[in-house]
Amino acid sequence: MGRNVKVNVEYLTRVEGHGNIVVNVKNGKLEECRLDIVESPRFFEGMLIGRSIFEAQHITSRICGICACGHTLASIQAAEDAIGFIPSAQTTQLRKLLLHLENLDSHLLHIYLLVAPDLLGVKSFVPLIKTHNDVVRRALRMKKSCNDVCDILVGRHVHPISSIVGGFTKLPKEKDLDAMLSLLKVLRTDMKPTIELAKTLIFPQFERETEYVGLVNDSDEYPMLEGDLGSTDGLRMNKKDYRKITNEFIVSHSSAKHAKASRESYMVGALARVNLNFDKLHPKAKAVANAIGLKPITTNSFLNTAAQLVECVHSLEDSIRIIEELKVKGVDRSQEIVVGLNENGAIKVKAGTGVGAVEVPRGILFHEYEVDKKGKIVNANCIIPTGQNCNNIEKDMQKLVPEVLDKKQEEITLLMEMLVRAYDPCISCSAHFLNVKYING
């Protein structure tokens, strides 16, 4: 007779949003293994109907407080694509900077406050205030620096103010560029001990081959804001065809819609991006990857956290490069815009459909809007990274459980929690849209 194991984690902690883990092993046989999303639905796509396309960014930013800038940028891209607006080179450059800042901010939060406690054997960062005071202080300091740079660039990180359809309502002055640069350079000095700390963390052993999906391009740039859709199984297509990748489908055991591309599931996020575009990382980021032994193609999902660290270095160094370039070129502040709801017709509007495909901290994010000739939204669709990852998380759980059945129940539970946390799931994001599974109670 095999063993019976029941894992039931209600309201998984240290993730964004509400999710439950359910594992049921009977007589040594895995009967059930699920990640249930129990976040209350918010109906964002419905709420957008009838609103002005110039409000879409403001509203969809509120899908998620952690990736507010990512939603903002995906929303703006979709909106501009729909109405046929082409942003200036300067606007694009500043948007890339904003995306880097959020990537850095979000990854640091995840590595330090959400994952490190597991690897150091405590329940949260709070006990670490006593035992690892310098580490906690560093984490909060780095997080605050990202936040301060965002304050300068777009007014604030949580729900950015000045980044809108058409460009920016406020552009940085020379002294703002200097202030951002000096904050990031201080952050750079804290990055060193962060890397040293990361080297000491031991991640669980686990391998499962899967397909990695993200943006790809033909240039030397590590694609975050723009590109085609690609995968490690060789898919490549225009972003407009995103539904061919996400292929939402219904699974028999629940009403959940899952995503799959070339095989049973796929993964998006930092690990997917590093696997797809390793050669395009900043040399310093590549050096860190080498130092911690991360190379393409890595198939241990726990190492998504390590990939986030590598991306932190990339995003930091590339942010500094962008600001230094802006300092040399100078910011053309005549591009500042006043748009509101476009009452003054500052931006030309036409009917159409547009897609935004942007790499946000947790993976590729899609927004799609259809607008009428007055710029009113008639249809909206958003597909969130965590929604795309759900299927892959479950497949990982199904492979991992039988491999660790000799461990104590608590250890199995912790491993399952750590696995889900490694994906840095943004459950309130994913639950606001389609990929939601319902569980009674």
Partner 1 sequence: MKKVKVAFFDFTCCEGCQLQVANMGEMLLDVLDLIEVVEFREVMSEKSNDYDVAIVEGSITTSHAVERIKKIRKTAKVLIAYGSCAAIGGINGMKNNFKLKEIREYVYQKDAKHFDTIPTHAVHQVVPVDYTVPGCPVYIPEFIQVLKAALSGLPYNVPDNAVCVECKLNENECMFDKGVTCLGPITRAGCNSWCINNGNICYGCRGMVSNPAENGQKDILEKHKISLEWIENKMNMYNKSRELGELK
Q: Answer positive or negative: Cα dihedral of 227, 229, 235, 241.
A: negative
- Asked if 155 is part of the footprint of partner 1 (rule: CB under 8 A), the reply reads yes
CB 339 within 8 A of CB 166: yes
Q: In whole angstroms, how close is the CB of 429 to partner 1 at the nearest point?
A: 8
- Asked if 84 is part of the footprint of partner 1 (rule: CB under 8 A), the reply reads no
Alpha-carbon span 356 to 75, nearest angstrom: 6
Exposure string for 81-105, b = 16+ CB within 10 A, e = fewer: bbbebebeebbebbbbbbbbbbbbb
6 or 58: whose CB is closer to partner 1?
A: 58
Which of these ranges, 63-71, 182-190, 196-204, 347-355, lies near partner 1 under the rule CB under 8 A?
63-71
Q: Residues 47, 120, 292, 404: which binds partner 1 (CB under 8 A)?
A: 47
Sheet (strand 377-383) strand order: 352-360, 363-371, 377-383
Alpha-carbon span 208 to 298, nearest angstrom: 9
Q: For 42, how many CA atoms within 13 A lie in the half-sphere containing its CB?
A: 17
Q: Residues 45, 102, 317, 368: which binds partner 1 (CB under 8 A)?
A: 45
Q: Residues 85, 168, 206, 302: which binds partner 1 (CB under 8 A)?
A: 168
Q: Write phi, then psi, for 404 (nearest 5 degrees).
A: -120, 20
Residues 360-379 that bind partner 1 (CB under 8 A): none
Q: In whole angstroms, how close is the CB of 13 to partner 1 at the nearest point?
A: 4
42 or 284: whose CB is closer to partner 1?
A: 42
Q: In whole angstroms, how close is the CB of 184 to partner 1 at the nearest point?
A: 15
**In DSSP terms, which residues pair with 249 in a beta bridge?**
258
Residue 225's nearest CA partner among 337, 122, 390, 76 is 76
Give how far the C-alpha of residue 406 lies from the chain's centroid of Cα atoms, to the nearest Å: 34
- Asked if 63 is part of the footprint of partner 1 (rule: CB under 8 A), the reply reads yes
Residue 421's nearest CA partner among 379, 389, 375 is 389
Which of these ranges, 117-125, 204-212, 307-315, 324-332, lies near partner 1 under the rule CB under 8 A?
117-125
First to last CA, the chain: 32
Alpha-carbon span 321 to 338, nearest angstrom: 28
Q: In whole angstroms, how close is the CB of 1 to partner 1 at the nearest point?
A: 33
**Two tokens, residue 359:** 């790499």
- Asked if 438 is part of the footprint of partner 1 (rule: CB under 8 A), the reply reads yes
Q: Residues 75, 91, 93, 162: which binds partner 1 (CB under 8 A)?
A: 162
Residues 262-291 that bind partner 1 (CB under 8 A): none
Alpha-carbon span 212 to 9, nearest angstrom: 28
Q: In whole angstroms, how close is the CB of 233 to partner 1 at the nearest point?
A: 29
Site of tokens 């899967």: 210
> What is the per-residue binding string for partner 1 in 11-30, x denoting contact by CB under 8 A?
x-xxxxx-------------
- Asked if 344 is part of the footprint of partner 1 (rule: CB under 8 A), the reply reads yes
Q: Residues 69, 73, 101, 109: which binds partner 1 (CB under 8 A)?
A: 109
- Asked if 156 is part of the footprint of partner 1 (rule: CB under 8 A), the reply reads yes
Q: Which helix (H) or strand (E) holds 59?
A: helix 56-61
- Asked if 249 is part of the footprint of partner 1 (rule: CB under 8 A), the reply reads no
Question: Can you give the binding site for partner 1, defined by CB under 8 A?
Answer: 11, 13-17, 40-47, 49-51, 55, 58-59, 62-66, 68, 109, 113-114, 117, 123-126, 129, 136-137, 140-141, 143-144, 147, 154-159, 161-162, 164, 168-170, 255, 257, 336, 338-341, 343-344, 428, 433-434, 436, 438
